[in-house]
Structure 1
Amino acid sequence: MPIYNKLVRDKIPQVIEKVGKTFTVRTLSNEEYRQELRKKAFEELEEYVRAEDDAAAIEELADLLEIVHALAQCHGVTIDQVEAVRAEKAEKRGGFQEKIFLIEVHDE
């Protein structure tokens, strides 16, 4: 019997039931939920880094984006508000499109 002890998507219990298996779940407190979302973000990021092709990478990016949506909600903001902060930072500091790799800064 595998033990997972991790946050899963909302419809996973129904998926498990459809294959005729039983399971144990519990509802997390708000603080536990935020902590588990943070863990899940690292898990999905690791899966993205290990993706072997573009299709797999896109799947993992979608999972990361789902977590970003949930974390925004945990912090009491919408994804549009997060996007506004992202756009403001991009306006002030730029994005990553130019592929600039900083090697060192010299103090003079």
Structure 2
Amino acid sequence: MPTYNKLVRDRIPEIIERSGKKYTTRVLDQTEYIKELKKKSFEELEEYTNAENDEEALEELADLLEIIHALAENHGASIEKVEELRKYKADKRGGFKEKIFLIEVEH
């Protein structure tokens, strides 16, 4: 039986069970949960960077967004609060739409 030892979406055990396979899970404590969400964010980001087309890229971005929702909730905030902070920072410092690549700054 393959060993995964990773955080999975809530309905994955149900999907595995429907396929007729057996599995083992446990519920993480809060500290483990945050650690695993952070690990999962890197996993999904890597999958995004390796996406070979727009469809795959959007799928991986959706996975990253799901993790961001979970992390925001875990920090006592909603995704709306995260979006509010994003807008504030964009107003103050700009976004990334102009594709500016900083080479150097004189001291």
TM-score (norm 2): 0.99
Give the equivalent residue in structure 2 for 1:60: 60
Give the equivalent residue in structure 1 for 2:12: 12
1:40-83 Cα deviation digits (max 9, x unpaired): 00000000000000000000000000000000011010000011
> What secondary structure sits across from 1:59 in the alignment?
helix
Query: What is the Cα-based RMSD across aligned positions, in Å?
Result: 0.4
Corresponding letter in the other structure for 1:50: N
d(CA) in 2 for partners of 1:80, 1:98: 25
The alignment status of 1:25 with 2:31, answered yes or no, reads: no
d(CA) in 2 for partners of 1:51, 1:106: 37
Gaps of 5+ in 1: none
Once the two structures are aligned, what percentage of the paired residues are identical? Answer: 64
Shift of 1:101: 0.3
1:80-99 Cα deviation digits (max 9, x unpaired): 00111110000000000000
1:64-79 matched pairs, under 5 angstroms: 64-79=64-79
The alignment status of 1:39 with 2:39, answered yes or no, reads: yes
